[in-house]
């Protein structure tokens, strides 16, 4: 079972060793969309938003696809939305036709 502390250690290891880059999440315009500065989505598996709105033209959300038995994009792991990312969160839910939500927190 993964603990938040272990996930943070792995995330830091992957980022510092550049095993899985997080360049998009580190961009200046996206930093304010990250709840935690040390937990960023990996570029190779991040969720990309496609629907543009008059106030949101970025494809960035702090979320990654996770593979499951039904394919490489079976699940989405994301942070709880911030006040400035609530619209992006619901854009993601709608765009990817998410049927079930689970909230996991410490």
Q: Are 41 and 59 in contact (CB under 8 A)?
A: no
Q: How many domains does one find in the chain? A: 1
> 106 in a domain, yes or no?
no
The CATH number of whichever domain residue 48 belongs to comes to 3.90.190.10
SS3 content of the chain, % helix, strand, coil (to 5): 30, 20, 50
- Quote the pLDDT of residue 88: 93
Tens of pLDDT, residue by residue over 38-95, are 889 999 999 999 987 777 778 999 999 998 888 778 899 999 999 999 999 999 999 9
**Mean pLDDT confidence for 19-39:** 92
> 102 in a domain, yes or no?
no
Question: E strands of 1-106, at which residues?
Answer: 46-48, 60-68, 71-78
- Three-state SS at 45: helix
- Three-state SS at 61: strand
Q: What is the pTM of this model?
A: 0.80
> 59 in a domain, yes or no?
yes
Q: Which residue has the tokens 């880059």?
A: 21
> 91 in a domain, yes or no?
yes
- Three-state SS at 6: helix
d(CA 8, CA 10): 5
């Amino acid at each position: 079972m993964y603990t938040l502390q272990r996930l943070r250690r792995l995330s830091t290891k992957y980022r510092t060793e550049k095993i899985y880059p997080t360049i998009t999440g580190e961009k200046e315009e996206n930093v304010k969309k990250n709840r935690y500065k040390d937990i960023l989505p990996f570029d190779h598996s991040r969720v990309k938003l496609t629907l543009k709105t008059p106030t949101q033209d970025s494809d960035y959300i702090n979320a990654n696809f996770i593979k499951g038995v039904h394919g490489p994009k079976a699940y989405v792991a994301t942070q709880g939305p911030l006040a400035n990312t609530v619209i992006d969160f619901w854009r993601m839910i709608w765009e990817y036709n998410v049927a079930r939500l689970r909230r996991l927190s410490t």
